């Protein structure tokens, strides 16, 4: 038979369990407007500042140490597991708690008293809120949680030590505490629910404290999302304090249960429901916190963007300040040499620097051509410029494959590179994309020794004129165009080693393209037949098609096998088309209208020919006498040579062919001009190469894998 003391203590346990059951009817009511007004009415802060962080760290240590020990005990373990690392700064905690020990003790007493007396959870919660009325919301939750940590910590120390420590055993006997190990299966649902609720309480408390630490210079408390979060914090505070009361009631309910148990699954259910409620509050606050950090990051990004913009637009003594701002503040300012050794960024000081900007899809052809200019002509000409590769990547999709791709590209570059793509300041990336216009196609921004931007994309002029365009300024580019004309040399550059010989021999030189083998064979055969009939020398060169590497490679093999004409290898084909695009972008960048620019007209015509699946051809005699046509026209002209043969013998091959082509009407045609959507801008007005009418603009997204 139970003793009078045992019965008395059991009565207290019954009352505390009744208080937990009272929570159900309050769960809904506590969220209405009247209740929120009641909660707000308890808040009258007097401006006192409480350093809650060190206190919260101690609370976390206490509760996070208890939970694994509970799990250990509930799963049949003996003894206790090792405590977690305690990294608490004792001096900081002493300072923070020096004036708060009394209020924490007072909350301990309030909670213990009300739980032992079976008080109403809501009334107890409101009593604690009134007790803490002069404190901020974050201080309220931290101080209440501190009181709970004291009560729960003392309880669990007794439970944990009672089997090995005589003092703990005596205290446990006086409290009539049950043997946790002996009754682990009975108590497990209660402690599982308790653990979940405690974890949720800690998470919400940390979240509330984190809101108070957000930098006010980057986010306003009066504007969403922070204002929204602050409006929810009183509710969150209420539920944390209520949860503390509910947890304390569960613990108090174990007093007097040494020999008999009053178990109820509803108690565990109440705690689980409360844990779900508090977890939902945490998820909501966490989502608002993410929005706050996003707003802060946006503000920081914008400020850093404006700072970089001011710096790069302000005359400098040298380029070092601008180069340093390219990197994140937390990064060490060093670059990598081609041999992968680290060097300080000072090696670029007071030098002309080309910022090579690309993603990780920069082609090996581009690297090879740039390397020829950098390692060959630059060195032999004594030009003092350096290249720094800035790879622009998407952080959110970065993985090991991209890491290996970056390392692979870096290994074949003979110039300076960044240590890692993430070393680049995000605000600089924003500037690169918004001001310098980088999207995907590589660009090279020229900085002079003082850091002044000479050209937002020097790759265009480098592809066209090579190192002769040094120092790669927009003024130098414009002066080159003023002296340039549409000639065979401009079109082909040094891609065809036999060109000067053919010109000196006064041969007709034909460059043609397309990917239809039947047309290529018919055109080459017919054209050579016309040349033979006129007894003139002709050289034909197949230049392939842009972005069709595998098809061009296959056709090049067939052309050589059948000895139809000369045919360029991959690298020359890529460079030919890339130079043409560069000419167009360079002209557009300098505001040249197509109506009064012959070079731009001819370049766009060839690019439009390439946009079609049909072939095309351009003929030159000497440097500047030229005629060109699409595949259908030029093939039909060669096949109907007898119609203009007499004229050709009188006027010459190219004038006669031009006159014949002018007489061919082509009522039905579809001309396409496909251009990458960056690197200098897209011309607003484009004329059809066939009829001269304005072409319609469409957007096309393409992924061509060959």
Distance, in Å, from the CA atom of 126 to the CA atom of 39, rounded to the nearest integer, reads 7
Statement: residue 99 has pLDDT above 80: no
Distance, in Å, from the CA atom of 584 to the CA atom of 683, rounded to the nearest integer, reads 9
pLDDT at 635: 95
pLDDT at 514: 93
* Poorest-pLDDT segment among 81-90, 201-210, 265-274: 81-90
The neighbour count for residue 90, using CB atoms within 10 Å, is 10
Backbone angles phi, psi at 126, to 5 degrees: -65, -35
Statement: residue 86 has pLDDT above 80: no
What number is the average pLDDT over the span 51-76? 75
Q: What tokens does 690 get?
A: 């066939």
What number is the average pLDDT over the span 330-341? 78
Q: Which residue has the higher pLDDT, 267 or 588?
A: 588
The answer to whether 681 and 439 are in contact (CB under 8 A) is: no
Statement: residue 395 has pLDDT above 60: yes
Largest CA distance in the chain: 134
pLDDT at 692: 59
What number is the average pLDDT over the span 256-278? 70
Domains, the chain, in order of start with CATH, read 39-77+91-298 (no CATH), 319-483 (3.40.30.10), 488-705 (no CATH)
pLDDT at 472: 94
pLDDT at 1: 41
Give the residue from 532, 343, 509, 533 showing the smallest Cα distance to 419: 343
Confidence tier at 141 by pLDDT (50, 70, 90): very high
Statement: residue 5 has pLDDT above 50: no
End-to-end CA distance of the chain: 89
Q: 53 by DSSP, 3-state: which? A: helix
* Poorest-pLDDT segment among 424-428, 538-542, 602-606: 602-606
Backbone angles phi, psi at 28, to 5 degrees: -80, -45
Sheet strands side by side (includes 508-513) = 566-567, 538-542, 508-513, 616-621, 625-630
What number is the average pLDDT over the span 434-463? 94
Statement: residue 257 has pLDDT above 60: no
Statement: residue 453 has pLDDT above 80: yes
Which residue's entry shows tokens 């108690």? 267
Q: Which residue has the higher pLDDT, 546 or 681?
A: 546
pLDDT at 530: 95
pLDDT in tens, 201-221: 999 999 999 999 999 999 999
Sheet strands side by side (includes 385-391) = 342-344, 334-336, 416-418, 385-391, 352-358, 443-447, 453-455
Provide the β-strand partners of residue 335.
343, 418
pLDDT at 613: 76
Our CA dihedral for 620, 624, 629, 633, rounded to 10 degrees, sits at -60
pLDDT at 2: 42
The answer to whether 542 and 562 are in contact (CB under 8 A) is: no
Percent share of the chain, pLDDT over 90? 56
| Cβ-proximal residues to 417 (8 Å cutoff; 6+ apart), any chain | 335, 336, 388, 389, 391, 410
Q: How far is CA 289 from CA 132, 224, 623, in A?
A: 25, 11, 68
Q: What tokens does 338 get?
A: 């081609």
Q: Which residues of 410-420 are buried (b: 16+ CB within 10 A; e: fewer)?
A: beebebbbbbe
Distance, in Å, from the CA atom of 478 to the CA atom of 482, rounded to the nearest integer, reads 6
The answer to whether 487 and 624 are in contact (CB under 8 A) is: yes
pLDDT at 266: 64
Average pLDDT, the chain: 83
What number is the average pLDDT over the span 366-372? 92
Provide the β-strand partners of residue 511.
541, 618
DSSP letter string, 318-365: SSHHHHHHTB-TTS--EEE-TTS-EEEGGGGTTSEEEEEEE-TT--HH
The answer to whether 248 and 6 are in contact (CB under 8 A) is: no
Confidence tier at 13 by pLDDT (50, 70, 90): very low
pLDDT at 348: 93
Distance, in Å, from the CA atom of 430 to the CA atom of 432, rounded to the nearest integer, reads 5
Q: Is the dihedral of CA 436, 440, 441, 443 positive or negative?
A: positive
Q: How far is CA 99 from CA 50, 93, 137, 319, 524, in A?
A: 10, 11, 18, 55, 97
Confidence tier at 81 by pLDDT (50, 70, 90): very low
């Amino acid at each position: 038979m139970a003793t009078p003391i045992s019965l008395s203590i059991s009565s207290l346990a019954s009352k505390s369990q009744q208080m937990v059951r009272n929570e159900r009817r309050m769960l809904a009511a506590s969220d209405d407007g009247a209740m929120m007004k009641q909660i707000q009415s308890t808040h009258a802060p007097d401006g006192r500042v409480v350093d809650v962080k060190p206190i919260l760290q101690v609370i976390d240590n206490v509760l996070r140490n208890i939970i694994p020990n509970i799990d250990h005990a509930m799963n049949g373990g003996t003894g206790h597991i090792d405590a977690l690392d305690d990294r608490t700064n004792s001096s900081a905690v002493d300072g923070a708690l020096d004036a708060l020990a009394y209020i924490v003790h007072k909350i301990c007493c309030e909670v213990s008293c009300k739980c032992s007396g079976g008080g109403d959870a809501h009334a107890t919660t409101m009593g604690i809120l009134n007790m803490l009325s002069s404190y901020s919301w974050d201080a309220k939750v931290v101080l209440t949680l501190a009181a709970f940590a004291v009560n729960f910590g003392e309880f669990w120390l007794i439970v944990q030590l009672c089997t090995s420590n005589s003092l703990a055993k005596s205290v446990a006997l006086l409290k009539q505490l049950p043997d946790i190990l002996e009754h682990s299966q009975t108590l497990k649902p209660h402690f599982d629910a308790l653990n979940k609720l405690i974890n949720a309480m800690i998470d919400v408390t940390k979240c509330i404290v984190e809101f108070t630490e957000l930098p006010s210079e980057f986010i306003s408390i009066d504007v969403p999302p922070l204002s929204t979060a602050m409006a929810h914090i009183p509710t969150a505070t209420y539920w944390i304090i209520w949860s503390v009361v509910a947890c304390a009631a569960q613990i108090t309910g174990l007093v007097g249960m040494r020999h008999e148990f009053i178990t109820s699954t509803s108690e565990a259910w109440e705690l689980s429901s409360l844990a779900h409620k508090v977890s939902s509050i945490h998820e909501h606050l966490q989502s608002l916190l993410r929005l706050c950090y996003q707003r802060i990051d946006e503000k920081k990004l914008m400020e850093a963007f404006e700072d970089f913009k001011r710096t790069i637009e302000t005359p400098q003594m040298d380029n070092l300040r601008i180069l340093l701002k390219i990197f994140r503040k937390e990064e060490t300012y060093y670059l990598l040499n081609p041999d992968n050794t680290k060097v300080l960024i000072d090696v670029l000081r007071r030098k002309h620097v080309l910022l090579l900007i690309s993603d990780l899809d920069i082609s090996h052809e581009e690297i090879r051509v740039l390397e020829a200019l950098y390692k060959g002509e630059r060195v032999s000409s004594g030009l003092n410029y350096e290249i720094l590769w800035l790879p622009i990547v998407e952080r959110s999709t970065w993985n090991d494959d991209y890491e290996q791709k970056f390392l692979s590209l870096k290994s074949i570059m003979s110039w300076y590179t960044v240590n890692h793509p993430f070393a680049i300041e995000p605000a600089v990336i924003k500037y690169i994309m918004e001001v310098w216009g980088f999207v995907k196609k590589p660009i090279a921004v020229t900085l002079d020794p003082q850091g002044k931007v000479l050209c937002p994309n020097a790759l265009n002029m480098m592809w066209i004129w090579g190192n002769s365009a040094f120092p790669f300024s927009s003024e130098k580019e414009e002066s080159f165009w003023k002296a340039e004309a549409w000639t065979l040399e401009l079109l082909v550059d040094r891609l065809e080693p036999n060109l000067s010989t053919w010109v000196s021999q006064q041969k007709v030189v034909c460059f043609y393209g397309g990917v239809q083998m039947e047309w290529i064979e018919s055109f080459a055969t017919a054209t050579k037949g016309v040349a033979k009939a006129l007894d003139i020398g002709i050289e034909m060169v197949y230049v392939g098609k842009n972005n069709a590497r595998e098809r061009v490679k296959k056709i090049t093999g067939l052309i050589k096998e059948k000895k139809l004409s000369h045919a360029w290898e991959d690298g020359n084909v890529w460079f030919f088309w890339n130079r043409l695009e560069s000419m167009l972008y360079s002209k557009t960048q300098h505001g040249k209208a197509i109506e009064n620019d012959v070079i731009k007209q001819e370049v766009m015509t060839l690019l439009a020919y390439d946009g079609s699946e049909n072939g095309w051809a351009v003929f030159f005699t000497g440097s500047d006498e030229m005629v060109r046509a699409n595949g259908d026209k030029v093939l039909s002209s060669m096949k109907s040579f007898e119609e203009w043969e007499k004229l050709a013998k009188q006027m010459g091959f190219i004038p006669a062919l031009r006159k014949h082509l002018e007489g061919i009407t082509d009522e039905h045609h579809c001309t396409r001009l496909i251009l990458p959507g960056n690197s200098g801008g897209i011309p607003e007005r484009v004329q059809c190469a066939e009829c001269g009418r304005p072409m319609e603009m469409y957007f096309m997204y393409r992924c061509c894998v060959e």
